[in-house]
Structure 1
């Protein structure tokens, strides 16, 4: 099992880099070429969401992206440092409780982002704790065989 960890400051311009790294690592892990655009889009949505939560809540900690090449799957975890107000919780409610709905649109954008991710990724989990939230996504891989 190989793991790549990426941390970046909560700035929108870093999301593109995370997308490019995720696509490159996914390709190397054996994710089907036809799915790489979905990987890019899903990672972009998850990272944009984390950046938004950090910025709205005044969190200076970096956004965390962990890319893991497992035996038959490739997974990506995008984590934020915005604590849940009451332990395990749904992420959209967490964002709203912590100020993400101050302008009236952020909560809807948050839910839209999660809906886009769910539409792109068959295997997705969203969780949140007192330490922050995590979106975990995974895709099947095909073993990369080298010609002798």
Structure 2
């Protein structure tokens, strides 16, 4: 299993670099050429979302992108350190779940709508996607099956 980790300042101009690195590593992992555009778009959307969240909340920590290549799948994790709304309690539990939102300003409400649109785009591009978040940050995990054997290096 090979792993590449990329960290970049939460600036929009670094998103392009993350897309290019993700496409290069995906190609090396054996992801089908026809799917590489989806990889680029999904990574770009996830990184743009993370940059926007960092800018909105004044987070200076870097965005983290981890590219994991193994025999069964190629995975990408995009992590941010921005606060997200938190749900307490398990859904369906007897006491019910309580949703405790982070305080919302008009700018944050607009950003939340953009965030939901970005997640919808990612879900449309990637069959295997998982989003998790809490008050300390969030992670988008995406994966694609390789269609060709990865080259031995």
Q: What TM-score, normalized to structure 2?
A: 0.84
Separation in 1, partners of 2:50, 2:105: 11
Alignment deviations for residues 67-113 of structure 1 (CA, whole Å, 9 cap, x no partner): 0002210000000001335367xxxx89x735475264221111110
Q: Are 1:119 and 2:140 counterparts?
A: no
How far is 1:134 from its partner?
0.1
Separation in 2, partners of 1:55, 1:123: 28
Separation in 1, partners of 2:105, 2:64: 19
Partner of 2:65: 65
- Runs of at least 5 residues in structure 1 that lack an aligned partner in the other structure: none
Q: Are 1:144 and 2:153 counterparts?
A: no
Secondary structure of 1:31 counterpart: coil
Cα 1:19–1:72 shift into 2, 3 Å: same
> Structure 1 segments of 4 or more deviating over 6 A?
none
Q: How many residues align?
A: 142
Q: What TM-score, normalized to structure 1?
A: 0.86
Contact persistence 2:83–2:102 (CA under 8 A)? no
Q: Which has the higher helix share?
A: 1
RMSD of equivalent CA atoms: 2.3
Partner of 1:12: 12
Note the 1:33-44 alignment, pairs <5 A.
Answer: 33-44=33-44
Note the 1:44-83 alignment, pairs <5 A.
Answer: 44-83=44-83
Higher Rg of the two aligned structures: 2
